[in-house]
Amino acid sequence: MSAATSTADLAGLSIAITGAAQGIGRSLALHFARAGARVAVADLRLQACEAVCAELRATGSQAIAIEADVTDAAACERLVAETTAAFGRLDLMVCNAGVVQVKPFMEVAAHDWDAVLSVNVKGGFLCMQAAARHMLQQAPLAPGRPRGKILAMASIAGRYGGGPMAPYLAPYRASKAAVISLTQSAAASLAPHITVNALCPGLVATDMWKRMDRDLATLNNGQEGEAFARRVEAVPMGRAQTPEDVAGLALFLASPAADYMTGQSINIDGGLVLN
């Protein structure tokens, strides 16, 4: 995608991003703002949201910080209401908030399962629903275009059942498979007025992976960095993924170039999963 496409076609777009205080969410906020979009930065940690907004405003972008617990339906509705009150409409909802836990399969407790699925699946569903309620009532982005778009953050972890991480990430992997399925259901339900697509990143170098790496080192009596390094060795593109890699795909999906795409879950993983 050319720089012209990302800036000219996204200028003035109104976007809400959950889990935007760090990692992939923060990178998405920065990239969308640079492309001219107005961004609602949403997360559980309001102070961290404000820090990201300060970065965006320093570049001349419009940004608001919103404290939001995606597992709470009322909070998701407030997120949409505050975004539309500030910007007039909601063109794109990015359901990015997510959590992960590293535990051997037989040690996963019911509350562990609930904690991961509640944020990753229920939270995504509630944000999709809240966004769609508003989008269905607003005018299209332009004549012949959708009324709005929704992006969900899935993962290649929801694609296949094997691999070296499978014994340690059962709730997470199940949640991301559910996000892929949820994306399809939402797309079928909301077409042709709203498009719904999912991004499936791979080995992204974020604080989340650092925590996972530490937990794996503890479980396996290894050294921090070993698990991550082994995974990087398996990436055909020869390096770990950056949040910026994910942002490029998100910008494309938000643009008019992707208006005819819906219900798709797209791998952006350096070739770890080929299909």
3-state secondary structure of 267: strand
With residue 199 as reference, give the H or E element that holds it: strand 194-201
Beta bridge partners of 199: 153, 266
Query: Which among 86, 62, 64 has a CA at the least distance from the CA of 20?
Result: 64
Backbone angles phi, psi at 229, to 5 degrees: -60, -40
Backbone angles phi, psi at 150, to 5 degrees: -130, 135
Q: Which tokens in the block code for residue 159?
A: 């694609």
Query: Which of the 8 DSSP states describes residue 258?
Result: G
Residue for token pair 């059962």? 170
- Interhelix angle 207-219/226-233, nearest 10 degrees: 110
Work out whether strand 14-17 and strand 92-95 pair parallel, antiparallel, or are unpaired: parallel
Q: How far apart are the first and last CA of the chain?
A: 22
**Alpha-carbon gap, residue 184 to 179, rounded angstroms:** 9
**Alpha-carbon gap, residue 227 to 263, rounded angstroms:** 33
Which residues are CB-neighbours of 147 under 8 A, at least 6 positions away? 135, 136, 138, 139, 140, 141, 193, 194
Q: Which tokens in the block code for residue 213?
A: 């790496």
User: What's the Cα-to-Cα distance from 6 to each of 57, 129, 135, 139, 166, rounded to whole Å?
Assistant: 19, 27, 22, 22, 36
Any catalytic annotation for residue 160?
no
Residues carrying an active site annotation? 168
